[in-house]
Amino acid sequence: MAGVNKVILIGNLGADPELRYTSSGSPVADLRLATSRKYTTKDGGTQEDTQWHRVVVWGKQAEHCKEYLAKGRQVYVEGRLQTRQWEDREGHKRWTTEVVAERVQFLGGRGGGGGGFDEAPPPDDQDAPQSFGDDDIPF
């Protein structure tokens, strides 16, 4: 039986997207995304909990993120979780869990409109991503 690995996040960028290219020339962007929730404590006070997420975006979609997104911008991200492990220079095992984006929807921003792009990883920038409008947000 197959499992489900699906992540949907709406949050704000904590930094400008970082764009780089793999040795084969494929674009990849790293996003730092903050999501927050507010809740009421037992004593009636209000608390806010912020979680930070690493998001990896591939292909033309990565280039669009670098061009159109900036720190503070609100985005919708849909993708899957991936954990990577490696050994650092001192020989210590390190790992990270990140969201590999399949869809990034730009929310708000210039003129109040949104825009976004679909592109499934791994990188395959042979096909141009499609543009999506506010009516395509699934909520």
pLDDT 10s digits, 64-116:
999 999 999 999 999 999 999 999 999 999 999 999 999 999 997 654 445 55
SS3 for 135?
helix
Neighbours of 32 (CB within 10 A): 17
Question: Over the range 90-103, which residues count as b (16 or more CB within 10 Å of their CB) and which as e?
Answer: eeeeeeeebbbbbb
Q: Is residue 2 part of a domain?
A: no
User: What CATH number corresponds to the domain at position 32?
Assistant: 2.40.50.140
SS3 for 45?
coil
47 pLDDT tier (thresholds 50, 70, 90) = very high
Q: Specify the number of domains making up the chain.
A: 1
Phi, psi of 48 (to 5 degrees): -125, 130
Range of the domain at 87: 7-37+47-136
Rounded to 5°, angle at Cα 127 from 131 and 80: 70
Q: Is residue 42 part of a domain?
A: no
pTM of the model: 0.73
Q: Is residue 1 part of a domain?
A: no
139 pLDDT higher than 70? no
